[in-house]
Amino acid sequence: MSTVVTQKVRILIVGYRKFSELINAIMPEFADEAEVTIVESVASHNTEYHSLVARHNPDVVASAGSNAAYLANTLSVPVIGQPVTDTDIIEALAKACRIAGRVHLFTYQPENMPPGRLFLSLPELLDIDLVHHSYSTSGEANERLQLAIAEDDPQVVVGPSYTCHMAEQEGVATILLYSKESARQMLREAIEAGRNRLSFSPVQSASAEHEQFVIRSPLMREVANLAQTYALSSGAVLVEGESGTGKEHITREIHRHSEYRDGPLVAVNCGSIPNELFESEFFGYVDGAFTGSRRGGRRGLVEQANGGVLYLDEVGELPPTQQVKLLRVLQEKRFRPVGGNREIPVDFKLIAATNRDLRDAVSSGRFRDDLYYRLNVFSLKLPPLRERPEDIEAMTQHYLQRYAQQYRLNTDLDLLYQAVAIDFLRYPWPGNVRELQNFVERIVVSRISCPDEELGGEQVQRILPELHQRVTGTDANGGSLRDQEEEAIRSAMQKFAGDKAKVAQYLGISTTTLWRRLRAMTQTGEEKPTKFSSNTQSR
């Protein structure tokens, strides 16, 4: 269920000669995922890497050894280092043994870190005369190489690309320390790091997957930073916010950044599971557990999420009996399928989302306090769209580009945005991001027949009457947001003759949310049930 970003990651490789040749050899394997630029350089104070990054605009930088360490301390862009495994070292030394019995090995080692135990065992393990040189900077590596040449006249050197190049200049045979497999690992890590950075970038490219999280406001930047932090823990995360604010988006990003990212993301709408089916849906059942059960049994949602993330959407809609059963699984991290006689252990990260005030539900006895504290280890509150105008502008432009490409509309998108910009900033957005997305698609589709015609106020009002109904339908003080939302629901119910599916789509909210708001309006006595039930079509 997790979203795969299709936009290519831009990787800037900083290396030298043999390292560049190694990367070039494996680049075709990653052509569909990354755009790789190689700059041959040895990282030092003599090179202005900030201007290099500004020119190539990479999502991530990759290098090796002391180069990678220097760049990581210099640049704000993520830097991925080429790994050197024990296998790489042994294989490189085995090749060197065919050239000479005495080998000089150069490896990068951060300051104040002792050599690994492997180097003490290598001479006996490979039956070679080994001279090991460790270094923390490229300058130090060059000095050690020059001393070795002056004192020992080495016949073969094993080391990083720059050291190999300097040795070859002196007529010494060389073997590159890095392998293709470790280079592949570096590129995989670079691609993942680049994707993560793209996921939280202020404004996403329109060529990327349409389910991206587009943010520009300080409020949402803070949420994004917290999401990355909370992803590092195995503790549960409670995501709170109005419908359409992006709770599922932020859940995907937590999943992407967590240690459970290689496992599945299993999403469950807690408001849509009938009480009598809860156990079989959540915990599954064994063969013959009940009449009509599937032959061979069925894996429940909890088992499907094992090793990944279980996302409980609208968790506040769970009735008390289901809350008890869920609590037990969270406490014990094991469950028993319906009809089964053994318990199955599970390990997953839990993310729960709600648009209700769960604290208020706990106080009124509608939600268990022990379950609430199990869910609320970490808390993320997503602000409504009306509180972050910077995101309104960013997302409007993003979706204009996306739908213009989808519907092949060739028009001036800047003029299109300017035609709705003021109205969009004034609008209270009860449906939040989902509603904005629907509005933008409606605008783009309406322009297909006349892409070159200027979009005026009357046309905007005709295409998006909600914008002006909200403004003119309030009292002198602007009216409360709840009043505006309820007025919009009443108007839409009348417009579509009570067809709730069409009303929900028109308002940019889910049918579950619409049912809940209709019920709340009925319970407050502001409308009678028959007001909304006439001519309702079952969907």
Instruction: Give the tens place of pLDDT for each residue, 329-370.
Output: 999 899 988 888 888 999 999 999 999 889 999 999 999 999
Q: Are 83 and 185 in contact (CB under 8 A)?
A: yes
Average pLDDT over residues 444-468: 82
Position with higher pLDDT, 515 vs 247: 247
pLDDT of 34-85, one tens digit each? 888 887 766 555 456 666 676 677 888 888 887 788 787 777 678 888 888 8
Q: Would you say residue 274 has pLDDT above 90?
A: no
- Amino acid (one-letter) located at 500: K
What DSSP string describes 259-313? TTTTS-EEEEEGGGS-GGGHHHHHHEE-TTSSTTPPTT-EE-HHHHTTTSEEEEE
Spatial neighbors of 46 by CB under 8 A, at least 6 apart, are none
With a cut of 60, say whether residue 217 has pLDDT above it: yes
Q: Would you place residue 116 in the very low, low, confident or very high pLDDT band (cuts 50, 70, 90)?
A: low
Name 38's Cβ contacts closer than 8 Å, sequence gap at least 6: 13, 15, 20, 23, 24
Q: What is the DSSP letter of 209?
A: -
In this model, does residue 32 exceed pLDDT 70?
Answer: yes
- Look up residue 8 and give its DSSP letter: P
pLDDT for residue 382: 94
pLDDT > 90 in the chain, percent: 16
Tokens of 305: 């999420």
Q: Which of 115-124, 157-166, 512-521 has the highest mean pLDDT?
A: 157-166
pLDDT for 536 equals 36
Per-residue pLDDT at 78? 83
pLDDT tens digits, one per residue of 232-266: 999 999 999 998 888 988 998 899 899 998 888 88
Residue 211 pLDDT exceeds 70? no
Return the closest-CA partner of residue 302 out of 291, 294, 310. Answer: 310
Average pLDDT score, the chain: 79
The end-to-end CA distance of the chain, in Å, is 25
Indicate the range of 125-139, 405-419, 522-536 predicted with least confidence.
Answer: 522-536
Q: Is pLDDT above 80 for 160?
A: yes
Q: What is the pLDDT of residues 470-502, one digit of tens each?
A: 443 333 333 455 666 777 788 778 777 788 877
Which stretch, 301-305, 336-340, 525-529, has highest mean pLDDT?
301-305
Q: Dihedral angle at the C-alpha atoms of 107, 108, 112, 113, nearest 10 degrees?
A: -60
480 versus 209: the higher-pLDDT residue is: 480
pLDDT of residue 54: 67
pLDDT at 6 (0 to 100): 45
Is the pLDDT assigned to residue 300 strictly greater than 50? yes
pLDDT bucket at 227, cuts 50 / 70 / 90: very high
Q: What is the mean pLDDT of residues 276-302?
A: 74
User: Which residues is 227 bridged to in the sheet?
Assistant: none
Select the more confidently predicted residue: 454 or 250: 250
CB 108 within 8 A of CB 137: no
β-pair type (298-299, 284-285):
antiparallel
Residue 511 DSSP code:
H
- Over its C-alpha atoms, the chain yields an Rg (Å, rounded) of 30
**Cα torsion for 281, 282, 288, 291, to the nearest 10°?**
-40
Which residue in this structure is represented by tokens 């939302």? 485
